[in-house]
């Protein structure tokens, strides 16, 4: 393999993994309740139906008709009690309202103290995302060092690629910071 091809593979692999780390962080942010009801709060909730655990989004439609109301419409009415039980045992802290057809979740307004707690949680999740990205940079650097030791890459080429890798890492961390700023704003808006 030529130097450019080898380094291109390393950089492409790092970018792909960093994109996945950002997607994971974005998903973590979606699971933190802001001032509005969102389907992301419950769509990954595990429900015990038909003898196995499945995600809620696969057995029910989720809609948000109002800012503080989430409506869960099961495709099969026999799953209503299982869905209700899964919501009650989750860490959402919301009591579902079952009318025999749909389940309604009414989200109370957040207190100022609770908003600040959620901001702390989101900052921690952002830091976890940044650490994951930096760990991926470190793994790519180890890979480059191994290629250099094996004689597949020159030290000048490794230095050039490490600079590109550092810029990529910086850009990806900036994306996490931007996501964090947006989520903090969402949480603190009343």
The per-residue pLDDT for range 3-60, each reduced to its tens digit, is 678 888 889 999 999 999 999 999 888 777 666 777 777 888 888 888 888 888 889 8
pLDDT at 93 over 80: no
Please count the CA atoms within 13 angstroms of the CA of 23 that sit on its side-chain side.
6
The residue that leads in pLDDT, 93 or 162, is 162
CATH architecture of 3-31+111-188: Orthogonal Bundle (1.10)
What's the alpha-carbon Rg for the chain, to the nearest Å? 22
Reduced to 3 states (helix: H, G, I; strand: E, B; else coil), residue 49 is: strand
Boundaries of CATH 1.10.132.20 in the chain? Answer: 3-31+111-188
User: Which pTM value belongs to this model?
Assistant: 0.72
pLDDT recorded at residue 2: 65
Helix (H) / strand (E) element for 106: namely: strand 103-106
Is a pLDDT exceeding 60 seen at residue 1? no
Q: Where in 24-96 does DSSP place strands (E)?
A: 46-49, 52-55, 60-66, 69-74
Run of H or E residues at 173: helix 155-188
Q: Where in the chain is the domain with CATH 3.30.1360.40?
A: 39-106
Q: Give the single-character DSSP code of 100.
A: S
CATH of 39-106 given 3.40.50.450, 3.30.470.20, 3.30.1360.40, 3.40.50.2300: 3.30.1360.40
Are 130 and 136 in contact, with CB atoms under 8 Å apart?
no
Element holding 19 (H helix, E strand): helix 3-30
pLDDT tens-digit readout, 100-143: 889 998 887 778 888 888 889 899 999 999 999 999 999 999 99
CA–CA gap between residue 40 and residue 28 (Å, rounded): 10
* Burial class of residue 120 (count of CB atoms within 10 Å of its CB; 0-12, 13-18, 19+): exposed
């Amino acid at each position: 393999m030529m130097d450019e091809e080898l380094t291109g593979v390393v950089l492409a692999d790092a970018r792909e993994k960093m994109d996945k780390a950002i997607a994971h962080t974005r998903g973590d942010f979606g699971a933190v309740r802001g001032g509005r009801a969102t389907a992301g709060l419950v769509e990954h909730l595990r429900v015990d139906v038909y003898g196995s655990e499945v995600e809620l989004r696969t057995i029910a439609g989720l809609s948000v008709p109002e800012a503080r109301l989430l409506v869960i419409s099961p495709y099969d009415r026999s799953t209503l009690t299982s869905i209700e039980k899964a919501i009650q045992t989750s860490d959402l802290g919301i009591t579902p309202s079952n009318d025999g057809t749909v389940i309604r979740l009414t989200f109370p307004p957040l207190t100022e103290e609770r908003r600040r707690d959620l901001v702390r949680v989101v900052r921690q999740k952002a830091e976890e995302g940044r650490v994951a990205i930096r760990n991926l940079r470190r793994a790519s650097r180890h890979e480059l060092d191994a290629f250099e030791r094996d004689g597949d890459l020159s030290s000048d080429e490794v230095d050039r690629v490490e600079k590109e890798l550092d810029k990529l890492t910086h850009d990806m961390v900036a994306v996490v910071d931007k996501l964090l700023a947006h989520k903090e704003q969402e949480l603190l808006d009343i």
